[in-house]
Amino acid sequence: MKVKKVVLGLVIFFYGDNLFGNKYNVVINSAEIAVVEKDYQKANRIYSSIFFDSNQYMFSKDVWNYALSSIIEKDTATVIKCLTNLIEKDYDVEKINQNKYFKPVLKKMDVQNVKKKISSIHLYTLIDSLHTEDQKYRIYDSMYVKYKSEINLIDSMNSVKLNKIFQKCGFPSEKEIGSTQAFSLWVMLLHQGYGTKRIYNFSKYVESSLTKGKIEPSMGCALLLRLSGKDSYGLEFGIKKISYSGLNSQVLGEKDEMAKTKNFILGYYKVKPEVLSRLNKKREELGIGSVSEQRKKDYFSFTDEHGFQFNMSLDHYVITDEEQYKFFTQNLVIIDNK
C-alpha cells in the first residue's frame, strides 16, 4: 500500500498545476478506476489534487464524482465545496437535488447566494437561445413525426449559426459557457446527424477541442462517433444493456418502464485483436484508458447505486421485436443474463 501511495504522489507532483488534455484525462481515469475498485480514499486523493488547485479547471462530471466519493468517505465539508462548485458551473440544481445522497447536503446549503462563474455570458446566452429553438418541437417524442420538416429546418439553421460561432470563437469550453450550455451544445451537435444535410464538418472542431482539453472526453468521443460515423475510440465495444419488451410503443419512457420487469442481457460486441489494439492506441493518445477499463466502468455504472458518472458508453436498448432481440444476443459476448 505504501508503494502505491508514493507512486500516486509522484504522478500528481509530475503533472503539477498544468493538467490539460491527455494529462488531465490520464489522472481522471486513474481516479475513476479507483472508484470502480471501491478504493474511495485513493479516488479522493487524486480528485483533491486537481480540485483544490486554483490554477486547474475540473469538468463538472469529475466534480460530481468527487462529491460522491467524498460522501462515501463521510467528508461533508468537501461535498459542500463540490456542490458549490457545480452550481457555480451552472449545473442544474434540480438534477443535484434528485440524487438521494446529495439532497440532504443541498438542504443545508445557501444555494441562492452561490454565483455562477462563466467566462462568456455572450456565448452562454447564444447557445441557450439556439437550444431553445432546437427543443421547440422535440418536447414530446410523439410530435417528432408530425413536425419532422420543422425540426429539420431548425437543425439546418442552427448548423449555420453554430459554424459561425466555431469560426469566430472556436469550440466553446465548459469554462466559457457552463455545464448546462455545454450539454445543450452537445445535444444540438448530436442532432446534426438526424435528417439534416451535413453542410459543415463539425468533427474537426470536436477533435481539436478534445486534444486541447476543452471538452469532457466522453462527450467529445460520442460527438465524433455521431458526426463522423467513425468509432475512433471504441465506444461501440463498451457494455450494452439490451431489454426485450412486448410493448409495441414509440414512447421510450413506456418502453423503459416495461423493460424493468422483463429479461435483459449485458454484453459487448466481439472485436478483432488488431482492431482492439488500434482502438486502445487512440484511447491512450487521449488518455482515457483502455477498452477493457471502459467495460469495467460500464459494468460498475450498471451496478452502482450512488450515481457516479463515467464515459457515456453504457447503452440501453429496449427492443420490441423478439427476432431482433435474438439477433443482438447472438452477436454479443454476454457477461450477465437475467
Secondary element (H or E) of residue 337: strand 332-337
Listed ranges 131-135, 145-149, 224-228, 267-271; the one with the highest mean pLDDT: 131-135
pLDDT attached to residue 240: 86
**Cell numbers given for 91:** 449545473
pTM of the model: 0.87
Ordered by start, the domain boundaries in the chain are: 2-113, 121-228, 235-337
- pLDDT, tens digit, for every residue of 321-335? 778 878 877 888 888
Q: Is the pLDDT confidence value at 146 over 90?
A: no
Using only C-alpha atoms, the chain has a radius of gyration, in whole angstroms, of 21
Which among 299, 312, 324 is positioned nearest to 38, based on CA atoms?
299
pLDDT confidence bin for 257, thresholds 50/70/90? low
The neighbour count for residue 68, using CB atoms within 10 Å, is 23
Q: How confident is the model at residue 8 (pLDDT cuts 50, 70, 90)?
A: very low
Q: Is residue 2 very low, low, confident or very high in pLDDT (cuts 50, 70, 90)?
A: very low
Q: What is the mean pLDDT of residues 143-156?
A: 83
Residue pLDDT, tens place only, 36-53: 999 999 999 999 999 999
Q: Which three cell numbers stand for residue 111?
A: 444555494
Alpha-carbon gap, residue 139 to 113, rounded angstroms: 31
Q: Tell me the three cell numbers of residue 27.
A: 489522472
190 φ, ψ to 5°? Answer: -60, -40
Which of 12-26, 90-104, 150-164, 182-196 tops mean pLDDT?
90-104
Mean pLDDT of the chain: 86
Highest mean pLDDT among 38-47, 211-220, 221-230: 38-47
**Number of residues assigned to the chain:** 338
Lowest mean pLDDT among 192-196, 230-234, 315-319: 192-196
User: How many CA atoms within 13 Å lie on the side-chain side of 45?
Assistant: 16
C-alpha cell at 162: 453554430
Q: What is the pLDDT of residue 300?
A: 93
Which of 244, 189, 184, 223 lies closest to 312 in space, CA to CA? Answer: 223
Tell me how far apart the alpha carbons of residues 121 and 127 are, in angstroms, rounded to a whole number: 10
pLDDT above 90: residue 276: yes
The mean pLDDT of 148-153, rounded to a whole number, is: 87
CB 268 within 8 A of CB 295: yes
What gap in Å lies between CA 22 and CA 15, rounded to an integer?
11
Q: What is the pLDDT of residue 17?
A: 46
> Mean pLDDT throughout 100-127?
96
DSSP for 260-274? TTS-EEEEEE---HH
As a whole-number percent, the residues of the chain with pLDDT over 70 amount to 84
For the cut 60, the answer to whether the pLDDT of residue 142 exceeds it is: no
Sign of CA dihedral 327, 329, 332, 333: negative
pLDDT at residue 130 in the model: 97
Residue 190 has pLDDT above 80, yes or no: yes
pLDDT given for residue 262 in this prediction: 59
pLDDT at 249 exceeding the cut of 60: no
The residue among 307, 89, 116 whose CA lies nearest residue 182 is: 89
Rounded distance between C-alpha atoms, residue 256 and residue 26, angstroms: 34
